[in-house]
Structure 1
Amino acid sequence: MLETKRFILRPWRDADAPTLFRWASDPRVGPPANWAPYVSIEHARETLHAVYCVPDTFAICMKRPEEFDAAAIARIEGAADFGDMARGFSGRAFLRERKKVASAPLNPIGSIRFVKPDHANCSIEDNDREMGIWLAAPFWGFGIAPEVAGAMLRYGFGERGLSAIWVCNFVENATSARAKDKLGFELVRLEEATNPVTGVVRTQQVSVLTKSSWENMQKATE
C-alpha cells in the first residue's frame, strides 16, 4: 500500500467490481486510454481478476472523501446524461449511486499501475516499467494524477529499483501530456498504436523518466 497527502493506493479486491463498473462504463474514461467502456458488473469483475488484481496495480482511494464532496458532486450532477439513462438509471437514482461511491472512504476513484515489458504499449527494457493511470471523470481537474503518480515514482525507483519508467499517451490527450510534463518525463518519440479490438490506428507520444533524472529532480527540491 502506498500513501500520499490525500490518497491511499491499495491493492484492488473482488468487492471493488461494482465501483469499477460504475467508473469504467463511462465512455469518457476508457477510450482515451485505448480500452472500451465496460458493459456489465460481470465484465468488470472478469477484468478486475485478469488486469487489476496483480502486483504493482493499485486502486486510488481518497483518505478524506468529504473534502471532494461539494466539487465532485457538482460535476457528477452535470454528468447525468442520456448515456446514463440508457444503462437503466433514472436521473435521480443515478446521482444517488454516484454520490454514495464518491463519498465512501477507501472506495476506488481510479487506478494506477506498472506494466511489465511484455505487456507494455511501447518497447522498454527488462528493468523498466510503463506507468498507466485512469481516473473517474468527476474527479478530473483536482491535481490527482500528478500526486499519485509521484508516489508511484518513489515506489518504482526506490523500493522496486527500476531503471526507467515510461508513459504513453495519445497526442490528442492534452491532460495526460500536462501531467506527464509536470513529473519530468521527456518525450522520446511518436509512434502509431493500433487498438487490438477496433483496429483503429492512433498516434501516441512515448516519454521516459530515468532513475538518474528523477534523483536529480529530488535533490533540486531538497
Structure 2
Amino acid sequence: MKKITTKRLILRKPSLNDLNDLFEYAKNPEVGPSAGWLPHQTIEYSKEILNNFIRSEDVWAIELKAEKKMIGTISLYTRDFEDAILGIVELGYTIGRNYWNMGYASESVSAMIEFAFKKLKINKIVCGHTIDNERSKKIILKNNFKFTHLDDTRIFSVDSIKEVLMYELDNPYKKEHKK
C-alpha cells in the first residue's frame, strides 16, 4: 500500500496505534449513520474493525500531519469481478465529526482520485452518498463526479438507509476519455 502525502494529510496503512483515534470518532452518533454504519459502542468493536482495515489493502488511514492523529479513513475497493476486469473501483471515506468543514475530506478524496487514475491506472471511480448526506454530496460534486443513478439494492447496518445516490468519474488521463 502506497503512502500518499498532501499539504495537511498523510494517507497511509492503518495500524493498531490508530485504535483510540478510530474509537473516538467512530462512536460519535453523527459520523457512522450518515455512511450507513452504526456508531461503535465499545473499543473492542473498533479494534475488530481496525484489524479488518489492517488486513485490507483497500483502506487508508487519514492522518492529520499537525496532530499525528488518524481523523478518518478512505478506501478504494473493487465491488465485483466484472468491475475488476473493467478497471472500476468504488471510493468511500469517513472523517471524524471534529474535523468536518475543514476541507480534509475534499483533500483526501482529491489525492485518492489522482492516485487511482495516475498510479493505479483505474478507468473509472464510482462513489455514493445517502440521500440526506449533503456534506458528502458537496465533496463528490467538488471532485467532478457525475450523477448516474439511485441505488436501492444495498444493505446497510442503519435500517433507515434504503437508497444511495451514485456518481462516477472517468479517468481524465486516459486518451480514450479525452475529446
TM category, shorter: 0.7 to 0.9
1:196 is displaced (CA, Å) by 4.2
Is residue 183 of structure 1 aligned with residue 143 of structure 2? yes
Aligned length: 172
Please list the CA deviations of residues 105-147 of structure 1 after superposition, one character each: whole Å capped at 9, or x if unmatched: 321011111122139xxxx722211100010001100111111
Task: Select the residue among 149, 152, 177 that pairs with 2:112.
Answer: 152
Whether the 8 Å contact between 2:36 and 2:157 is mirrored in structure 1 is no
Residue in structure 2 matched with residue 131 of structure 1 by the alignment: 91
2: distance between equivalents of 1:117 and 1:30? 20
Which has more radius of gyration?
A: 1
1: distance between equivalents of 2:51 and 2:80? 19
Taking structure 2 as the reference length, the TM-score comes to 0.88
The amino acid that maps onto 2:58 is: D
Taking structure 1 as reference, are residues 157 and 201 closer, same or farther at Cα in structure 2, changes over 3 Å only?
same
Please list the CA deviations of residues 136-188 of structure 1 after superposition, one character each: whole Å capped at 9, or x if unmatched: 00110011111111110111011111110010101111111111111000000
1:10-159 matches, within 5 Å, as: 10-64=12-66, 105-118=67-80, 125-126=83-84, 127-159=87-119
Residue in structure 2 matched with residue 77 of structure 1 by the alignment: none
Identity, in percent, stands at 27
Whether the 8 Å contact between 2:130 and 2:161 is mirrored in structure 1 is no
The amino acid that maps onto 2:143 is: L
2: distance between equivalents of 1:187 and 1:159? 25
2: distance between equivalents of 1:52 and 1:189? 32
1: distance between equivalents of 2:104 and 2:16? 24
Which residues of structure 1 form unaligned runs of 5+? 65-104
1:200 is displaced (CA, Å) by 3.9
Which residues of structure 2 form unaligned runs of 5+? none
2: distance between equivalents of 1:52 and 1:207? 27
